[in-house]
Structure 1
Amino acid sequence: MKVVTAYLLGNTSPSADDLKNILGSIGADLDKERIELLLSEVKGKDIIEMIAVGKEKLASVPFGGEGVVVSTAGGGGDGGGAAPSRSNHRD
């Protein structure tokens, strides 16, 4: 992720050296293989178009919802809780 971030911080077509300088300036580890992989994957592509395609793909990803049931009620066991306090009650 840091390599992608460095790419987005660079000019419109950053080189491997540009990315290494950005990552080096913050003391991040340099993974030359990841840098080269990223640059080979984005070569000749428009960053704005790539972001738009990524947003479309993310829109189809389900985020929770259906089929998830969370129960907060104690179902059996020893009861597991203290009775409500009645400290404000006067007899």
Structure 2
Amino acid sequence: MKIVAAYLLLVLGGKTSPTAEDIKAVLASVGVDADEEKIELLLGSVKGKDITELIAAGREKLSSVPSGGGGAVAVSAAASGGAAAAPAAEQKEEKVVEKEESDDDMGFSLFD
């Protein structure tokens, strides 16, 4: 990711096709050692391609990846009837029963 980030910074800075030396210079400026093989792999992968098209294709691929588990449930509950979901949440909060501290130490306390 460091190498990709350095590449993207160079592209945003105006270099249309950064070289391995450019990427190494960016990484060296923040004290990161550059892996020559990974740099060459990245440059080979993006050679002759437009970076905005690559980002758009990556965004499209990420949109199909499932992420999280509870977010979809909350969204669907809010969409189907958010007003009905709110009272149910309030009822759950009311059912919480607090334990007395003396129950935790079975009646023996250092400060009694």
Larger RCO (alpha carbons 8 Å, 6+ apart): 1
Task: Summarize the Cα distance change of 1:84–1:56 in structure 2 as closer, same or farther, 3 Å threshold.
Answer: farther
Q: Which amino acid aligns with 1:58?
A: L
Q: Which amino acid aligns with 2:4?
A: V
Which blocks of at least 5 consecutive residues in structure 2 are unaligned? 71-97, 102-112
Instruction: Work out the percentage of aligned pairs sharing the same amino acid.
Output: 60
**Residue 62 (structure 1) shift:** 0.2
Aligned pair partner of 2:68 in 43, 49, 64: 64
Instruction: Return the TM-score normalized by structure 1.
Output: 0.71
Q: Which amino acid aligns with 2:26?
A: I
1:50 and 2:51 matched: no
Q: Which amino acid aligns with 1:83?
A: K
Task: Summarize the Cα distance change of 1:12–1:84 in structure 2 as closer, same or farther, 3 Å threshold.
Answer: farther
SS in 2 for 1:54: helix
- Matches of 2:100 and 2:54 in 1, distance apart? 57
**Residue 51 (structure 1) shift:** 0.1
**Residue 14 (structure 1) shift:** 0.3
- Matches of 1:37 and 1:12 in 2, distance apart? 18
| Alignment: residue pair count | 71
Root-mean-square deviation (CA, aligned residues, Å) is 2.0
Moved over 4 A (4+): none
The 5 Å alignment of 1:34-45 reads 34-45=38-49
1:32 aligned partner: 36
Which blocks of at least 5 consecutive residues in structure 1 are unaligned? 67-81, 86-91
**Residue 83 (structure 1) shift:** 1.3
